Structure 1
Amino acid sequence: MSKELATKSISEKTLTHPCYNCIAHKYARMHIPVAPKCNVSCNFCNRKYDCVNETRPGVTSEVLTPEGARDKFKIVRDKVRNLTVVGIAGPGDPLANFDETKKSIELIKKESKDITFCLSTNGLMLPFYADKLIELGVTHLTVTINAVDPKIGGKVYKFVNYLGDTFVGEEAGRVLLNNQLSGLKYAAQKGIVCKVNIVMIKGINDLHIPEIVKKVKECGAYMTNIMHLIPVKESVFENNPTVTEVELNDMRRDCELTLKQMYHCRQCRADAIGTLDNDVSGEFRESTESSQNSENNLEDKNVIQLKSHKYRFAVASKSGVSIDEHFGHATEFYIYDVINDEIKFKEKRKVNRYCSGGYDCGEHEDRIENIIKSVIDCNAVLVVRAGFEPIDRLHEKGIRLFQMYQEINEGIRKAAKLLKKDE
């Protein structure tokens, strides 16, 4: 963040941001959908892509690469003259896709130095990335905080995936909350204008909302945006009742005594373009797809989406060169990410070997479970061989297991092709 920007007042910083300033309704924003992966599963969320007739968070008709986002920005900028803001709001969480988020901002900043960058996050990884966001020039931040009581948070979230471990219930609520509040406080102290979104869920957190508003004010939030629950089909809360507009505005008015409130939220899509009252994103879908098809010689939109996918693999290897370790004998896994067909080594994760040979392998369910927890964020596990039990247990968690013996990068490429083929 520049020194000039850091010295500006909040009113100056929010002058042309339509979400933070209700009188800035004449200005347009552009959401770039470059962040498909999410590390928190909310009970009200179902992030379907290609739902062109739906207007709600987490929905997009396409997932863009950073280069695709830059190209689309240039098209939109030339046609939407009042564009002042570029935001990243999904369809997953921008900080769970930080490499894509970072590159997108850097590429667009080269095209326009005056654009305002904002970002919406669940806050789980905010303490890790707050300084990097400041370096990138992000000036506005929205953190969704639906509870400041871990017990209530445990009812809102199905699970939280944090640094390779999966938490549920009250423990999930506590892990998420600690990071949300510490990240919010730090970002606000550093001069980022922070808004907190709160989904008002009848019978879950509705009576708890004034406490949330009070707490986030203590942590430096500039305003809160209390929104009604959208009961989405196939989500855990699909049959939950929603609050009326009267109930929602009554809560906003009550909380306004504590902190500034947003009344004009449209609960936008992850690919929204235009003013809050006039989303024109549909006008740019065809032109963007045509532009990318021409540039990359791709055949259809589905291929574009595959190009932007990110896969994570856990590899069992004794040598560090080949896939040459039995699942039950592994004491560590090499973690690799595949982003746009580029293979990147991330880290090594230690695990406790669960099989010592003979009849011992089937007697350590707790060890298998711990190994699975260590690779829960992976799409697939690559091993030279595995027993039926770990294959079944991984499958239950949505993780594929591939048995092969070959050089690591070659094996990863083959596994990635198989995952793409099955989508």
Structure 2
Amino acid sequence: MTCVCPGSISQSVWEKTQRHPCYSAEAHSKYARIHLPVAPRCNIQCNYCNRKFDCVNESRPGVTSEVLTPELAREKFVWVREKVEDLSVVGIAGPGDALADWQATKQTIKAIQAIAPEVVFCLSTNGLRLPDYAAEMVELGIHHVTVTLNALDSEIGAKIYQFITYQGRRYEGKAAAEILLQNQLAGIRYLTGHGILVKVNMVMIKGINDHHIPEVVKKVKELGVFVTNIMPLIPATGSNFENFPQTSMKEVNELRNLCQLDLPQMRHCQQCRADAIGRLHEDRSQEFRMANRTGETKKVYNPVRKQYRIAVTSKYNKLVDQHFGHATGFTIYQGDGYTFQPMEQRSASKYCSGMADCEEGENRRDQTIDALQDCDAVLTMRIGPHAKDKLSCRGVTAIEYCDSVENGLRYAVEVLIKQEATEYERGIASTKRTAN
């Protein structure tokens, strides 16, 4: 894919594009990127997607070995930048959706912009929340956005998407596909109208949307999209399409050749992991897992050496690598931020048994939460909002983290100390107002 700078693109944006390995075929062998997995939530369920967060042996969208907080993402960027030459792009591609976890995405971008303003930022999204956040994306100075748009026909879309969650409601079938499409088109139109280069991804699914993709390309061309990327279906184990035939690259390239008549086609896509690091033809993500860091142990400010009880979800007591709803046991640690001791192991009933919806098994969930109410915090890779709220009502703070258990415990104590300081300050302020 070779592109000549269009007159509508500013020189500064074009220069950044020449350092973006996904937007420039020439750049993909020269420049490296880092995907920061700070956005684990997703607001749609695609039938081809199974987002396994801890699979080290797969390379496909939605897969990562760790989920990071914005603070840890900044640390990881600094670490990788010191080791990887020609690191030019910071991408946020999940492992869920960058806009479904917008606050974490935005905090990460601002934190890195403060130390590396020259970096090219790139976001990937399904587009459902684009109308809500497109203006903020422009204000943040993001110039490259990828939107996955698989169909213009709601009947076709209903075969691809199981459901969407939008404005507090769940939609299925054609209704879900129509809302999603409406927001995708409106969001893309806004972005391109404000100088953002948009790449549209399409998953080619034989017998469902393969014949329809040329129509999608023509439509997004009208909206001012910069380039399209037709990707083969990867039948992910555990997804609704796991038994579908994998689309061959011969079929994909034939379709790309046809669509090339309307828009430039990306032909070097590697369908990267959500934590990918390095050039497109390499993956150094496992080299840079946060659990592999070495160096001086970070000190925790806890002068009174208060002891905290923290329940941890971990498969082998090495990494914080389990979803709260998937845990069948919790290790209870006690410590002050300097040292920790494992106190006991508590069993639990796994209550989240479905990939698409973790709201079932409420009784088992409540039993688990009741069993943890003597703890100060739960340290887990991911937790749903309802479980988080129920823990909070019992005075237990839910903390999402993905790194070693040792680092996670220190981080949890930091969070608890800051939380207590904030509550103390609020109490003083409230007392002053009452006195006055």
Give the TM-score normalised by the residue count of structure 1: 0.72
CA drift at 1:8: 2.4
Residues 17, 27 of structure 1: 8 Å contact kept? yes
Deviates more, 1:55-64 or 1:285-294: 285-294
Task: State the distance in 2 between where 1:411 and 1:215 align.
Answer: 49
**In proportion to residue count, which structure has more helix?**
1
Q: Following the alignment from structure 2 to structure 1, what is the Cα–Cα distance between the partners of residues 397 and 17?
A: 47
How far apart in 1 are the matches of 2:313 and 2:169? 34
Counterpart check, 1:224 vs 2:228: yes
1:409–1:241: structure 2 CA closer, same or farther, 3 Å change rule? closer
Partner of 2:360: 395
Aligned with 1:114: secondary structure? coil
Cα displacement string for residues 144-203 of structure 1 (whole angstroms, at most 9, x for unaligned residues): 000011111111001000011101011110000000000001001101110000000011
Give, in angstroms, the shift of residue 13 of structure 1.
3.7
Matched, 1:17 2:20: yes
Mark the CA change 1:286 to 1:130 in structure 2 (over 3 Å): closer, same or farther.
Answer: closer
Please list the CA deviations of residues 245-297 of structure 1 after superposition, one character each: whole Å capped at 9, or x if unmatched: 11110000000001110000000000000000111112111565556974679
- The answer to whether the Cα contact below 8 Å between 1:63 and 1:308 also exists between their aligned partners in 2 is no
| Aligned position for 1:195 | 199
Q: Tell me the equivalent position of 1:36.
A: 40
Report the alpha carbon displacement of residue 81 of structure 1 after superposing the two structures with TM: 2.0
8 A contact 2:122–2:142 mirrored in 1: yes
Aligned-residue sequence identity (percent) comes to 51
Between 276-285 and 298-307, the greater mean CA deviation after superposition: 298-307
Instruction: Give CA deviations for 1:83-136 in whole Å, capped at 9, x if unaligned.
Output: 000000000001000110010011111110100000000000001001111121
Where does residue 108 of structure 1 map in the other structure?
112
Q: 2:102 aligns with which of 98, 101, 107?
A: 98
Name the Cα RMSD after superposition.
3.4
Deviation of 1:17 (Å): 0.2
Structure 1 residue aligned with 2:182: 178
State the shift of 1:397 in Å: 8.5
CA 1:310/1:33 → structure 2, altered by over 3 Å: closer, same or farther? farther
**Deviation at 1:411?**
1.1
- Tell me the distance in 2 between the aligned counterparts of 1:203 and 1:6: 37
In structure 1, the residue matched to 2:74 is: 70
Q: How does 1:14-413 map to 2 (within 5 A)?
A: 14-25=17-28, 26-285=30-289, 294=298, 302=314, 395=360, 400=365, 411=393, 413=395
Find the residue that maps to 2:122 and give its secondary structure.
Answer: strand
Contact 1:64 1:305 in 2 (8 A): no
Which whole-Å CA distance do the structure 2 matches of 1:399 and 1:33 have between them?
29
Deviation digits for residues 290-316 of structure 1 (CA, Å, limit 9, x no counterpart)? 5697467999994998699899xxxxx
Tell me if the contact between 1:153 and 1:170 (Cα under 8 Å) persists in the aligned partners: yes
The code of the aligned residue for 1:285 comes to R
Structure 1 distance, partners of 2:222, 2:296, is 46
- Going from structure 1 to structure 2, the CA distance change for 1:69 and 1:90 (only over 3 Å counts) comes to same
CA deviation vs aligned residue, 1:1-26 (integer Å, no higher than 9, x gap): xxxx9732764341100000000021
Cα offset for 1:218?
1.0
Q: 2:379 aligns to what?
A: none
